[in-house]
């Protein structure tokens, strides 16, 4: 079957040791063989007849954007897909931050409401092409649901390649059973961990994790403002600028412009340019850990996925990202190079 072929293709890139709990909570079992992290529209179309695919629309828009992803999903979507609200499937945060990693219970409850079972092949897309879907994939992988992928090119490429779009009224989904999983805490970094790591220079200490920032270069340097009013731009000491769009190819000439991931060689070159050839090689080989950050934890998912496509074994996300860091008066903010 196609899934078997795809799983073999993606296994080397997707491997991790996350596990799911049985409902008893006394024993842990590994999930099925990892699905490829990326699937094309053609591959998704071939997978759908299996009846094992759970489609999720994880579209998200930047603060201040006068658009509602839920409303847009109700009007136009891939047939059978459900809307995943990343701001709702999340934990409450003391600073009021959005889309923070949910607790295992919140995640399991969301899966049940969305009709997802532990055996489901979850395929996630967004209407940008690639933007917020990687963050949703990160969430599923962090909870051990390795049978998960994103649709490369999202809804725009799906439609462009001639696949059908559903605009009929939404139909209710049957609730599924999903045992409470275990979160792999090794893929999440806290504020305290990031601050501690920033006290040392990674160029002189190989044990220090590399922190790559997915925000624009101007925001990283402190020359451009943050989209959140009153928040300082700049960066965490000793971090590296790696704007998320350097991992993506923009298809501007399409009827609806969209993004896809660049090729593996192009991803590698972008990483080398950002952190240097030696650091890039040590990260990809697993000799050094790397952490992705962004404005709020959303586009850090693009860096996370791009790094996983390169075969990088140890990639984490700073969940609070810049919004959490810059909101604290005790944080040291650097500007310039």
Query: Active site includes 294?
Result: yes
Number of domains observed in the structure of the chain: 2
User: 248 and 242 in contact (C-beta within 8 Å)?
Assistant: no
Which of the four pLDDT bands, split at 50, 70 and 90, describes residue 10?
very low
pLDDT at 19: 35
CATH number of the CATH domain containing 170 = 3.40.250.10
User: What is the arithmetic mean of pLDDT over 132-144?
Assistant: 98
* pLDDT score of 11 more than 50: no
132 and 162 together in one domain: yes
| DSSP characters over 315-337 | EEEESSHHHHHHTSTT---B---
12 and 90 together in one domain: yes
Residue ending a domain, among 158, 183, 208, is 183
Q: Lowest mean pLDDT: which of 17-21, 95-99, 251-255?
A: 17-21
Which of the four pLDDT bands, split at 50, 70 and 90, describes residue 337?
confident
84 and 214 together in one domain: no
Helical segments of the chain, H only: 2-14, 41-47, 69-75, 104-113, 133-142, 154-160, 191-198, 217-221, 264-275, 277-284, 300-309, 321-326
Asked, for residue 332, whether it belongs to a domain, the answer is no
Asked, for residue 334, whether it belongs to a domain, the answer is no
Catalytic choice (294, 298, 315, 326): 294
Asked, for residue 41, whether it belongs to a domain, the answer is yes
93 and 216 together in one domain: no
207 and 65 together in one domain: no
User: 104 and 112 in contact (C-beta within 8 Å)?
Assistant: no
Q: What is the pLDDT of residues 72-124, one digit of tens each?
A: 999 999 999 999 999 999 998 888 889 999 999 999 999 999 999 999 999 99
220 and 120 together in one domain: no
39 and 155 together in one domain: yes
Residue ending a domain, among 150, 183, 216, is 183
Domain of 159?
Answer: 2-183
Asked, for residue 279, whether it belongs to a domain, the answer is yes
248 and 236 together in one domain: yes
User: 149 and 37 in contact (C-beta within 8 Å)?
Assistant: yes
* pLDDT score of 186 more than 50: yes
23 and 155 together in one domain: yes
User: What is the arithmetic mean of pLDDT over 255-278?
Assistant: 98
124 and 209 together in one domain: no
User: 303 and 245 in contact (C-beta within 8 Å)?
Assistant: no
Q: What is the pLDDT of residues 307-335, one digit of tens each?
A: 999 999 999 999 999 999 999 999 999 99
pLDDT at 32: 63
190 and 179 together in one domain: no
32 and 171 together in one domain: yes
């Amino acid at each position: 079957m196609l899934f078997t072929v795809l799983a073999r293709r993606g296994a080397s890139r997707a491997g991790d040791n996350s596990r799911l709990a049985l409902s008893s909570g006394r024993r842990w079992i590994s999930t099925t063989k990892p699905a490829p992290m990326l699937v094309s529209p053609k591959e998704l179309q071939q997978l759908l007849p299996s009846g094992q695919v759970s489609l999720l629309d994880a579209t998200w828009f930047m603060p201040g954007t006068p658009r509602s992803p839920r409303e847009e999903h109700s009007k136009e979507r891939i047939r059978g897909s459900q809307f995943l609200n990343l701001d709702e499937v999340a934990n409450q945060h003391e600073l009021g931050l959005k889309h923070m990693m949910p607790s295992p219970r919140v995640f399991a409850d969301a899966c049940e409401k969305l009709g997802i079972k532990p055996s489901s092949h979850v395929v996630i897309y967004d209407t940008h092409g690639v933007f917020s879907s990687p963050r949703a994939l990160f969430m599923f992988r962090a909870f051990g649901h390795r049978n998960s992928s994103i649709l490369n090119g999202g809804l725009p490429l799906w439609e462009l390649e001639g696949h059908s779009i559903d605009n009929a009224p939404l139909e209710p989904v049957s609730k599924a059973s999903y045992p409470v999983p275990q979160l792999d805490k090794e893929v999440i970094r806290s504020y305290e961990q990031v601050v501690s790591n920033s006290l040392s220079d990674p160029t002189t200490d190989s044990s220090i994790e590399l922190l790559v920032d997915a925000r624009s270069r101007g925001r990283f340097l402190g020359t451009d403002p943050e989209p959140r009013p009153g928040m300082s731009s700049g960066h965490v000491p000793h971090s590296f600028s790696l704007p998320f769009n350097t991992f993506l190819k923009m298809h501007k000439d399409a009827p609806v412009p969209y993004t896809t991931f660049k090729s593996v060689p192009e991803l590698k070159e972008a990483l080398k340019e950002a952190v240097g050839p030696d650091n890039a090689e040590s990260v990809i080989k697993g000799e050094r850990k790397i952490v992705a950050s962004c404005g709020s934890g959303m586009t850090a998912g693009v860096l996370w996925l791009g790094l996983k496509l390169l075969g990088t074994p140890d990639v984490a996300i700073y969940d609070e990202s810049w919004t959490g860091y810059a909101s604290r008066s005790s944080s040291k903010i650097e500007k310039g190079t």
